[in-house]
Amino acid sequence: RFQACIYFASVFQAMSCGIHYLASVFMAVTPNFVCGISGNVSSVLFYNSSESRIEDIWTLWTSTENYIVVHLENGDIWELNQCSRSKREVRVELAYEYSGNKSVFSCSDGFLYDDTKWKSTVVTQWDLVCDREWLAKLIQPTFMLGVLIGAVIFGDIADRLGRRRVIWFTSAAQFVFGIAVAFTFDYYSFVILRFLLAMVSSGYLVVAFVYVTEFVGIKARTWASMHVHAFFAVGIMIVALVGFLVRTWWVYQIFLTIATLPFVLCCWMLPETPFWLLSEERYEDAQKVINIMARWNKVSTPCKVSELCSVQQGDLASGRPGDNDTSSAKKHNLLDLFCNWRIATRTITVWLIWFTGSLGYYVFSLSSVSLGGNEYLNLFLIGAVELPCYVIACIAMDKLGRRNTLIPFLILSALICVLIMFIPQDFNILIILANMAGKFSIGVAFGLIYLYTAELYPTIVRSLAVGSGSMMCRVGSVVAPFCVYLRSVWIFMPLLLVGIMALLSGILTIMLPETLGKPLTNTLVEATEMGRNKKRCSEKTPPAHSGAALEKIEMFGQETVSPEK
């Protein structure tokens, strides 16, 4: 009961991470626009259609190459393009086609935007179009850069100051920065506050993963850790819902931020994890938390910290004193992940899977609003399809194995990317369903790579391996927005890149060993031998500390690293 309350309270706030990560898909959208014009408009001409107002023309607008002919009350005739305007020198009868002399001017009077879908976006607020379009395209990449930095900073702070304090700070900061973003006065303050918001959102997701992992029992740990990201997906669905209901960007931002206000008001009641308290030798505080857990769970005889400490000392004393002292004294670095050809190949493959998973995840998510049809429904479905994918991942990785699940879903995502290229653009429903299938398949692969990485490497470099893979994941999230922008070069370019990366990752994964049912390795020699002699590995007992002793020792020295979205 106690762990369930802690778990659902913590992962509820994970929705805010999904919300802020994908908020820009509607906040920074660029509607149809043309150069502004000063003066009173008497008539507007668009091909064969004549209207009295420019606002009535937008329903006929089909391409950025179009232009609008405007007749002013003073007799001037202007051609309004997206990034320039032309004044016709000869005032003849109003017609759409004109072959006479024209004077070209810049858009010094601002721009006119189509507000039929969005009343206001950050693009329309600060005219982030034409020569300032690159500023709009930097909004999501700078946010993802903040995600990368925040994960590193707050992960380290959580190890030093405790999980609870970081959860308090990051959840409160998400609310404060989220509200502050809505009231920014210019583009640069908007980007800076979004960057800070990304840092605390990423920090919360990392620390919350560690927090719930340290409270949940071993039997439920895989399911619990995987489904933290299911709440992230719920956050994406909330973005779609709020975007449909609210069409002004700063009001939209406020509604998204207050969605998780209940957690901010009650997060101060969350306790510190006994694992961290024990690692800091705060035994009395750890015992208090354990006693509270026992009362909630109606356990009459809670475990004693003193007994755990005595078991740990006894197990360490009866272990491998010589080898253990040597391995603990040696400091390991990134080069250990390339100590030999087999381990180096494994590291490159794992890094590629992390990168591909993150790249594919965000390419499918960010591109969903450009698939045609209802963009709000598209994003909602792209988020909803994640919910069953984590269930499938948990079942498949325990039944079929880690590698045997990863390979088919990576290759399937590559095939789906190719399939989408051959679907006619008029078949919106088929395109949306195919993108949902692509998000599902890449989501399964992305969901299990964290656990698989931890099992592929020995204890001495396990945290280093998972941490480095997680960094590659964040690099993928930074690259993903730029990849989506390549749609302007060729509409299928993002899918082509994701497909190539997924296919390459799937093929290289064949060389990785299966880890299902295998004991965790302790040394690089054991990790190198993994999969080379399956019979010998399967019969081999876990070296060093095993069984109950390992579990008790693990809680004193374990460093947990989270997969970052």
pLDDT 10s digits, 433-487: 999 999 999 988 888 887 788 788 886 777 677 778 878 888 998 899 899 888 8
Q: How many domains does the chain have?
A: 4
How far, in Å, CA of 446 to CA of 229, rounded?
11
Residue 120 DSSP symbol: B
How confident is the model at residue 312, as a pLDDT? Answer: 52
Q: To which residue do tokens 């004044």 refer?
A: 87
Residues 37, 25 within the same domain: no
Residue 13 lies in a domain: yes
How far, in Å, CA of 457 to CA of 323, rounded?
18
The pLDDT of residue 414 is above 80: yes
For the segment 333-386, what is each residue's pLDDT rounded down to a tens digit?
778 888 888 889 999 999 999 999 999 999 998 888 888 778 899 999 999 998
Which CATH number does the domain housing residue 246 bear? 1.20.1250.20
Residues 397, 483 within the same domain: yes
A 10 A CB-CB count for 510 gives: 11
How far, in Å, CA of 401 to CA of 512, rounded?
12
For residues 437 and 49, which has the higher predicted lDDT (pLDDT)? 437
How confident is the model at residue 19, as a pLDDT? Answer: 92
Q: Provide the token pair at 177.
A: 């920065």
Residue 552 lies in a domain: no
Residues 234, 346 within the same domain: no
Residue 554 lies in a domain: no
Strands 102-105 and 85-88 come out as antiparallel
Residues 381, 498 within the same domain: yes
Mean pLDDT of the chain: 82
Helix (H) or strand (E) holding 88: strand 85-88
How confident is the model at residue 537, as a pLDDT? Answer: 39
At residue 485, φ and ψ (nearest 5 deg) are -65, -15
How confident is the model at residue 533, as a pLDDT? Answer: 54
The pLDDT of residue 272 is above 90: no
Q: Mean pLDDT, to the nearest integer, of 255-264?
A: 86
Q: To which residue do tokens 């280093």 refer?
A: 464
The pLDDT of residue 545 is above 70: no
For residues 328 and 457, which has the higher predicted lDDT (pLDDT)? 457
The pLDDT of residue 12 is above 50: yes
Residues 27, 41 within the same domain: no
User: Which segment, 58-72, 141-155, 402-416, 533-547, is predicted with the most confidence on average?
Assistant: 402-416
How confident is the model at residue 532, as a pLDDT? Answer: 67
**3-state secondary structure at position 189:** helix
Range of the domain at 283: 275-309
The pLDDT of residue 323 is above 50: no
In this structure, of 140-154, 279-293, 470-484, the range with the lowest mean pLDDT score is 279-293
Q: Mean pLDDT, to the nearest integer, of 227-234?
A: 86
Helix (H) or strand (E) holding 72: strand 68-72
User: Which segment, 143-152, 450-459, 544-553, is predicted with the most confidence on average?
Assistant: 143-152
Residues 495, 433 within the same domain: yes
Q: Provide the token pair at 429.
A: 């429903």
Residue 285 lies in a domain: yes
Q: Mean pLDDT, to the nearest integer, of 153-177?
A: 86
How confident is the model at residue 310, as a pLDDT? Answer: 59
Residues 231, 147 within the same domain: yes
How confident is the model at residue 121, as a pLDDT? Answer: 93
Percent of the chain with pLDDT over 90: 28
Residues 39, 25 within the same domain: no
b/e burial code for range 140-170 (CB count within 10 A of at least 16 → b): bbbbbbbbbebbbbbbebbbeebbbebbebb
The pLDDT of residue 196 is above 60: yes
Residue 510 lies in a domain: yes
Residue 564 lies in a domain: no
How far, in Å, CA of 194 to CA of 178, rounded?
8
> Are 545 and 450 spatial neighbours (Cβ–Cβ below 8 Å)?
no
CA distances from 267 to 40, 44, 172, 212, 498 (A): 56, 57, 9, 14, 39
Percent of the chain with pLDDT over 70: 88
The pLDDT of residue 561 is above 60: no
The pLDDT of residue 49 is above 60: yes
> Are 474 and 564 spatial neighbours (Cβ–Cβ below 8 Å)?
yes
Residue 545 lies in a domain: no
| Residue 31 Cα to chain centre, angstroms | 25
Q: Side-chain half-sphere of 91: how many Cα atoms within 13 Å?
A: 7
SS3 for 340-398, per residue? CHHHHHHHHHHHHHHHHHHHHHHHHHHHHHHCCCCHHHHHHHHHHCHHHHHHHHHHHHH
How far, in Å, CA of 203 to CA of 564, rounded?
10
Residues 17, 109 within the same domain: no
In this structure, of 132-146, 277-291, 455-469, the range with the lowest mean pLDDT score is 455-469
Q: Mean pLDDT, to the nearest integer, of 178-204?
A: 93
> Are 129 and 82 spatial neighbours (Cβ–Cβ below 8 Å)?
yes
The pLDDT of residue 254 is above 90: yes
Residue 327 lies in a domain: no
The pLDDT of residue 207 is above 90: no
Residues 153, 265 within the same domain: yes
In this structure, of 90-94, 110-114, 248-252, 310-314, the range with the lowest mean pLDDT score is 310-314
Residues 263, 280 within the same domain: no
Q: Please enumerate, as own/partner, the contacts of 253-256 that have beta carbons within 8 Å and a separation of 24 or more.
A: 253/23, 253/27, 253/178, 253/179, 253/181, 253/182, 254/178, 254/179, 254/182, 256/19, 256/20, 256/23, 256/178
The pTM for the full model equals: 0.82
Residues 297, 408 within the same domain: no
How confident is the model at residue 536, as a pLDDT? Answer: 43
Environment class of residue 519 by beta-carbon count within 10 Å: exposed (0-12), middle (13-18) or buried (19+)?
middle
How confident is the model at residue 469, as a pLDDT? Answer: 81
